């Protein structure tokens, strides 16, 4: 065989072996513990809370979550409903909560990225109100 060909194959083999060794060292740089306490500490910080909207209104009427968590509003009223930002009727306080009409059995979800107090209501029955408190 040609000496240049053999030299090329040797270089490729060395590169592959060096890459494998580097990969193995990266994989084991940060070992993952499977103990219960470690699993609990590594639980996701962001969660989702469900608020149902029935004929009687929102339940629960107030939820407290952390920044990065989501609220899912699920319509179980038997008819179309809305989730809209306060203040009724202009809905301009937190426009990102103006989801419009959604059908029975469907949901709308919003992930909160800033701390604050977010009031909302059902535009079709403005006496049905709720509040999301978002903490750091």
Q: Are residues 88 and 30 in the same domain?
A: no
Q: Are 86 and 114 in contact (CB under 8 A)?
A: no
Q: Are residues 66 and 28 in the same domain?
A: no
Q: Are 36 and 106 in contact (CB under 8 A)?
A: no
Domain count, the chain: 2
Per-residue pLDDT, 91: 85
Per-residue pLDDT, 56: 95
Global confidence as pTM: 0.65
Q: Are residues 11 and 67 in the same domain?
A: no
Task: Show the domain range for 13.
Answer: 3-41
Rounded to the nearest 5 percent, the helix, strand and coil shares of the chain are: 25, 40, 35
Q: Are residues 53 and 23 in the same domain?
A: no
Q: Are residues 78 and 27 in the same domain?
A: no
96-114 confidence digits (pLDDT tens)? 999 989 999 999 999 999 9
Which string of b and e fits 110-122 if b means at least 16 CB within 10 Å?
A: bebeeeeebbbbb
Listed in sequence order, the residues at least 6 apart from 71 whose beta carbon sits closer than 8 Å to its beta carbon are 48, 49, 50, 51, 63, 65, 109, 110, 112, 132
Q: Are residues 57 and 81 in the same domain?
A: yes
Q: Is the pLDDT of residue 28 over 80?
A: no
34-79 confidence digits (pLDDT tens)? 333 333 233 345 699 999 999 999 999 999 999 999 999 999 999 9
């Amino acid at each position: 065989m040609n000496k240049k060909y053999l030299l090329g194959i040797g270089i490729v083999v060395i590169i592959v072996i060096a890459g494998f060794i580097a990969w193995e060292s990266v994989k084991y740089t940060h070992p993952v513990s499977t103990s219960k306490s470690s699993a609990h500490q590594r639980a996701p910080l962001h969660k989702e809370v469900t608020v149902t909207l029935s004929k009687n209104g929102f339940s629960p009427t107030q939820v407290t979550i952390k920044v990065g968590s989501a609220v899912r509003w699920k319509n179980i009223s038997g008819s179309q409903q809305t989730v809209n930002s306060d203040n009724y009727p202009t809905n301009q306080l937190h426009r990102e909560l103006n989801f419009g009409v959604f059908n029975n059995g469907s949901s709308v979800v919003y992930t909160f990225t800033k701390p604050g107090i977010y009031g909302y209501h059902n535009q079709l029955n403005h006496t049905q109100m709720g509040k999301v408190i978002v903490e750091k």
